[in-house]
Amino acid sequence: MKKILTIQDISCMGKCSLTVALPIISAMGVETVILPTAVLSTHTMFKGYTCKDLSDQLVPIAEHWKKEHVVFDAIYTGYLGTVEEIDTVKKLISDFRTPDTLVFVDPAMADNGRLYPAFDMHYARKNAQLCAIADVIVPNITEACFLTNTLYKETYDEACIRDLLAKLTELGSKVVALTGVSLSEGKTGVYGYDAIKKEYFQYQNNKVNASFHGTGDIFSSVVVGALANGISWQESLRIAADYVAHTIEVTMNDPDKPFYGVDFELTIPDLIRELPGKSSPPSFRP
């Protein structure tokens, strides 16, 4: 079984970061080792959240794993709380990286033109250094602008997106996938670039007129799970985009939907059916 390490916070309630990565990637048949960077009562979009920083635990935990000779097929980072934490994570990546390890960075720090409450420009610059050592990065357009010192604009065309992809590629990663790219009315999706093969990829879904927290983390988790299943990066992005679109649609139809996240728990079985060879999973019933 493939084994991945994911490094991000636990927002105890909020359907984001580790509380989506762990169930989704595990359900995709991939062992998911977690390195929690902090424990928050909720994600930071709630007022009055508590936060216990676990930065001082990262190195001792990793040291123990080293003694156990643990090897990861992929390392996936998400929301990281501080600049110092990014430095620690960079070091952990270089310690655990082998020639076969996929390093996947979701520079989760901003949306809709603004940084999340806990972050500033110093943090954004540090996140660019983390992106530089990744194989794959998946920023949304806002994050891409902060990472590349580009002015954020609500409206853009395909040339702007390719420009942004070029600047992101200069940071150093091999595959860059921009999320939340809307190139025609009523559509949204992902626009990717493989800097080694010099190939573009794009995929668009119908845009739902609602924004749900945690969908970026769900998207990344599905991409990592799919890549770990040996699926190409283009197909992994397509599966993740379709899964997020489907999950948002299901959530919109739920009269009891929480305001803080989507009903991904209801759609995990549909995701598994999308994986090659898993269209009719065997039953555990005798």
Q: Which residues contact 54 (CB under 8 A, 6 or more apart)?
A: 36, 37, 38, 39
Given the rule CB under 6 A, which of 39-47, 83-91, 218-226, 269-277 is the region that contacts ligand PXL? 39-47
Count of residues that interact with ligand PXL, criterion CB under 6 A = 14
Q: Is 46 in the site for ligand PXL (CB under 6 A)?
A: no
Of 33, 34, 45, 268, the one binding ligand PXL (CB under 6 A) is 45
Is the Cβ–Cβ distance between 236 and 227 less than 8 Å? Answer: yes
The contact mask relative to ligand PXL for 53-82 (x = CB under 6 A, - = no) is --------------------------x---
Q: Would you give the binding string for ligand PXL spanning residues 196-235, x where CB under 6 A is met? A: ------------------x-xx------------------
Nearest-approach distance from CB 246 to ligand PXL, in angstroms: 19
* Residue number, 215 or 234, with CB nearest to ligand PXL: 215
Site string for ligand PXL, 110-139 (x = CB under 6 A): ------x-----------------------
Name the minimum Å distance from CB 244 to ligand PXL: 13
Sites for ligand PXL among residues 5-34 (CB under 6 A): 9, 11, 16-17
Q: Which is nearer to ligand PXL, 39 or 195 (CB)?
A: 39
* Least distance between ligand PXL and beta carbon 150 (Å): 21
Site for ligand PXL, rule CB under 6 A: 9, 11, 16-17, 40, 43-45, 79, 108, 116, 214, 216-217
